[in-house]
Amino acid sequence: MTEGLKKSEETDKETAFLEYSIRAFADLLQPQIHQTIAHYQKKQSTNAEEALEEENDDSSGEEEAAAAEEESEQEEEEGPVYNPLNLPLGVLGVAYALLCLSPLFFPYPSFKGFDGRPIPYWLYKLHGLGQEFKCEICGNFSYWGRRAFERHFSEWRHAFGMRCLKIPNTTHFKEITKIEDAILLYEKLKQQAEGSAFKQDQELECEDSEGNVMSLRAFEDLRRQGLL
């Protein structure tokens, strides 16, 4: 592989990672995004007097909330972290866990949080982050969670493995992870395609001068024999 192709592949990987990160954070922050849009639309519909009054109320409320939040954070930092199930840690670890669903950059299910707090157990179970799926076509690579497993069939690693087997990476091969199964299915699909292919000499019909209908092969045989 030339240096230019390697550089292009690295650039594609970086771009794919950034796009995936943006989509993951957009999904995670969707409620906040909708709230921000609604707040902005509300701002546009208020007059100057209402806006000034609302701003004064918000500033006083923010000061009280900030003081309460700071006190709560101090209490949490002083207390021990209770995590008997060894769940992925961190409030921001939720976003990190979503990114870890991409095996290209985070192939192992060891999520380290940013603030040392465990993510909700229901979220861990929802994404099945403790469930392992192996794919022989990807070189026995492990994918953690059903979502990551289903997504990997359209990603570069699986596509590369299929290309090495000289098999097109179509939807027929989704859920196929064994090399032998993929080869057998490909042979079966080729046989079906050959069986349904149009055979001109057998299926194309011709008519002689007397109105007799026959296959192209029979017509050519009779014509060569001078019987037509």
Under a CB-based contact definition with an 8 Å cutoff, are residues 144 and 102 in contact?
Answer: no
Q: Give the closest residue to 11 by CA, choosing from 162, 156, 159.
A: 156
d(CA 143, CA 56): 51
d(CA 20, CA 23): 5
The reported pLDDT for the residue numbered 101 is 47
Is 37 within the bounds of a domain? no
C-alpha distances (whole Å) from 64 to each of 55, 70, 72, 78, 79 are: 15, 10, 12, 22, 23
Q: Give pLDDT tens digits for 160-185.
A: 999 999 999 999 999 999 999 999 99
Q: Give pLDDT tens digits for 34-81.
A: 888 877 777 777 666 666 676 666 666 566 666 666 666 665 555 555
Is 203 within the bounds of a domain? no
Out of 102-111, 121-130, 180-189, the most confident range is 180-189
The reported pLDDT for the residue numbered 38 is 79
Which residue range(s) make up the domain with 171? 93-196
Helices (H), the chain: 3-28, 30-45, 48-78, 93-99, 121-126, 146-152, 156-164, 179-196, 200-203, 216-224
Whether residue 125 is predicted with pLDDT greater than 70 in this model: the reply is yes
Q: Give the closest residue to 104 by CA, choosing from 158, 147, 173, 145.
A: 158
Is 98 within the bounds of a domain? yes
d(CA 185, CA 13): 30
Is 149 within the bounds of a domain? yes
Is 191 within the bounds of a domain? yes
Phi, psi of 2 (to 5 degrees): -75, 165
Is 134 within the bounds of a domain? yes
Question: Quick one: which H or E segment has residue 142?
Answer: strand 141-144
Is the model's pTM score more than 0.85? no
Average pLDDT in the 143-152 region? 89
